[in-house]
Structure 1
Amino acid sequence: MKAAAKQVVLLLNLIRLWPTLLIVAFSASDAPIRADIRRWCAILFHEEPIGFALLHRHIHLMVFFREYRNLVYLRLPFSRAYRWMMPPLASLHLDIPDLGPGCFIQHGFSTMVAVERIGANFWLNQQVSIGYSNDDDCPTIGNDVTVRPGAKIVGKLRIGDGATIGLNTVVTGNVPAGATVFGVPGRIIWRNRVDA
């Protein structure tokens, strides 16, 4: 019964989703969006959708995950013209001019991200602030970075590939690749060995 009710909700929402469906199906920017869909499905549903299943999962994510809507509207052109039909999460603000594919936002409420660049496979949690220390100093974040709930990353700094920023950590300096940073101020508590 529960699965049937979900399918009815999905069908009823197709009217509100037609702009994103057309763009996801035919846009040149579909590669990052498809990578996002695959990442969300791998994490949430433990599956790798292909073909029509990819569009079906896009519909499911748009209907039931407002954080996903924010991500889609960030990626798609002219999103202000149609995002009113399925509003994004109001307390999640993303100012990311260069965002790599495979971004996952877990519980994105009360979160602000303003960066120069974020690499592929970024994982973001709730109540995170990432941004400027003045008018033009903002972070650059590498590939495969995870930012846990409550973290603060401020200033012109670089978070290296594979780094993890721990719960409620305050980062004001560069974080090397493979490091796990925790505390106030953030200190490296673990570093993955990187083979040359």
Structure 2
Amino acid sequence: MKQGFRSILFILQILWVSPLLIPFWLTTEKKLILADVSKWVEYLDHKKTDDLIQLLTLLKEAKEYRNLYYFRLFHGNLAGRIAMYILKLIYREFPYLFLDKSCTIGPGLFIQHGFSTIIMADLGENCWINQQVTIGYKDKSGRPKIGNQVRITAGAKVLGNIKIGDNVTVGANAVVVKDVPDNCVVVGIPAYIIKRDGVKVKEKL
């Protein structure tokens, strides 16, 4: 009985967010959106089903994902963008996550929790960003460029005109203001390298 009620409730909730498929059908960004969906389903350990059901489930359950969805639609064609602006009046963004519209973001971005997180940078593919993270300008010189497969964990700050290489992990509460090479783990204030290519080290940036 309880399981049947949950199934009915889930269907009703999916129907409630189903108008958000309209801009998806109109946009030129379908491929990027579905790449994001695939990563979110993997990381959240959701049951794999039809792509559109997975998209609607994320729009219903993952507040942070909705912001990323709107970001993708904004960068698509005019028809999808107009539909997005109309639907945003009803289906609100998560107010504590800021994705600057001038960013370029590769496919597969995952945002865990996302509370008090600011992303104002150019990101590669399959990045993972946690809560209370700030990625952006330190001064007028420019903003960070983030590589592929980069994970930036809770409370970290990545600031200024710097480059973060591929396969980098930025530890919790680290402050990164210098370039980071590929395949490194950095921690601390200011950040330093504690692992490079799988080998423990202690190196300044």
TM range (shorter): 0.7 to 0.9
Distance across 2 between alignment mates of 1:89 and 1:177: 32
Distance across 1 between alignment mates of 2:91 and 2:54: 16
- The equivalent of 1:64 in structure 2 is 61
Runs of 4+ in 1 over 4 A off after TM superposition: 46-49
List alignment gaps of at least 5 residues for structure 1.
none
List alignment gaps of at least 5 residues for structure 2.
75-80, 199-205
Distance across 1 between alignment mates of 2:90 and 2:14: 10
User: What TM-score comes out, normalization by structure 2 length?
Assistant: 0.84
User: What TM-score comes out, normalization by structure 1 length?
Assistant: 0.88
Instruction: Decide whether the 8 Å contact of 1:10 with 1:59 is kept in 2.
Output: no
Instruction: Decide whether the 8 Å contact of 1:104 with 1:122 is kept in 2.
Output: yes
Q: Which structure has the bigger radius of gyration?
A: 2
Instruction: Decide whether the 8 Å contact of 2:167 with 2:184 is kept in 1.
Output: yes
- The equivalent of 1:33 in structure 2 is 33
Q: 1:101 to 1:4 in 2, by over 3 A?
A: farther
Alignment of 1:174-193 (within 5 A): 174-192=179-197
Instruction: Decide whether the 8 Å contact of 2:123 with 2:147 is kept in 1.
Output: yes
Distance across 1 between alignment mates of 2:4 and 2:123: 36
CA RMSD of aligned residues (A): 1.9
Shift of 1:17: 3.7
Alignment of 1:94-109 (within 5 A): 94-95=99-100, 96-109=102-115
- The equivalent of 1:14 in structure 2 is 15
Tell me whether 2-11 or 103-112 shows the greater mean CA deviation.
2-11
Given candidates 120, 139, 145, the residue that maps to 2:125 is 120
1:24-67 Cα deviation digits (max 9, x unpaired) = 24532111100000001111126554xxx111011111111100
- The equivalent of 2:96 in structure 1 is 91
- The equivalent of 1:23 in structure 2 is 23
Shift of 1:91: 0.8
Query: What is the number of residues matched between the two proteins?
Result: 188
